[in-house]
Amino acid sequence: MSIIVDDLVYVYHQGTPLETEALKGVSMEANPGEWVSVVGHTGSGKSTLAQHLNALLVPTKGKVEVDGILVGDDTREHRKIRQRVGLIFQYPEQQLFEETVFAEVAFGPRNWGVSEEEIPVRVREALQAVGLDESFWERNPFQLSGGEKRRVAIASILSIRPRYLVLDEPTAGLDSKGRDELCSLLRQLKVSGTGIIHVTHDLELALEYSDKILVLESGKALFWGSPEVIVEELIEREIEGLVVPPVVELARRLRDVGFDVPVTWKAQTLA
């Protein structure tokens, strides 16, 4: 069981003057219980890739497969994929629309035909996973704090029990405390077996939490590997638009004055 992306090419508005090749042969893999970050500058293709993972976009060329189900022309298969892969857009709280937190979180499972008896079980489980107890059930989502709204929005996806969660810049607009809280919540989900696919321009965050990182540049995969390998590569070269963490700056300076920076040291510094 895994998400496999193999040599994915995606062209917007093919055959028109607006034709844009957003992905130019990208490969990656994500497994349940693993945190994969997709990192890159604005316009590098992160969102385009994310949308393939739950079949909102279909490859122009190459392959995207979720637990053996192909993202292709058969839309009946796409329904199965969307049950497995929850996609959380940037500022998900803007998509809240129900009058109570309960109804908001119940919406997904109801839509997927989960029985009414089972609904409260799903709602409790999903809200607990984001650290919100039963006292929130009857509250109006619009009257919650920014961080709470975002948690409710994430719970409304978790209630369909996806095996993978794709999050597009989930920490956008949060302060550093909110960011840390959200990331440790995602880490807990990962530990309990959910695959996290985290789209971000924040390399430092990716280095801290990920098992694997894909770095995109202009629709191409520049790196794919563990944080340690990425750091090693970054010491050697710059990537346009990516702000490197202080540890990389330090290692670059050490290298420039003739030191050989051991990989183990870098890994420890990151931990």
Residues contributing to the site for ligand ADP (CB under 6 A): 12-13, 20, 22, 40, 42-48
Which lies closer to ligand ADP via its Cβ, residue 114 or residue 172? 172
Which lies closer to ligand ADP via its Cβ, residue 24 or residue 163? 24
- Residue 157 CA to residue 138 CA, distance in Å, equals 18
DSSP code for 244? P
As measured in angstroms, the least distance from the Cβ of 47 to ligand ADP is 3
**DSSP per residue, 8-54:** EEEEETTTSTT-EEEEEEEEEEE-TT-EEEEEE-TTSSHHHHHHHHT
Which lies closer to ligand ADP via its Cβ, residue 91 or residue 137? 91
Pairing of strands 20-30, 164-168: unpaired
Angle, helix 101-111 to helix 146-158, in steps of 10 degrees: 20
SS3 86: strand
Which lies closer to ligand ADP via its Cβ, residue 94 or residue 184? 94
Q: Which amino acid is at 199?
A: V
Which lies closer to ligand ADP via its Cβ, residue 44 or residue 156? 44
As measured in angstroms, the least distance from the Cβ of 138 to ligand ADP is 37
As measured in angstroms, the least distance from the Cβ of 54 to ligand ADP is 15
Closest-CA residue to 149 (of 197, 98, 191, 184): 98
Cβ-proximal residues to 9 (8 Å cutoff; 6+ apart), any chain: 21, 23, 24, 25, 59, 60, 61, 62
As measured in angstroms, the least distance from the Cβ of 12 to ligand ADP is 4
Which lies closer to ligand ADP via its Cβ, residue 147 or residue 219? 219
As measured in angstroms, the least distance from the Cβ of 48 to ligand ADP is 3
- Residue 238 CA to residue 43 CA, distance in Å, equals 17
SS3 182: helix
Which lies closer to ligand ADP via its Cβ, residue 18 or residue 271? 18
SS3 70: strand
As measured in angstroms, the least distance from the Cβ of 245 to ligand ADP is 20
What does the block give as tokens for 100?
A: 């109570």
As measured in angstroms, the least distance from the Cβ of 49 to ligand ADP is 7
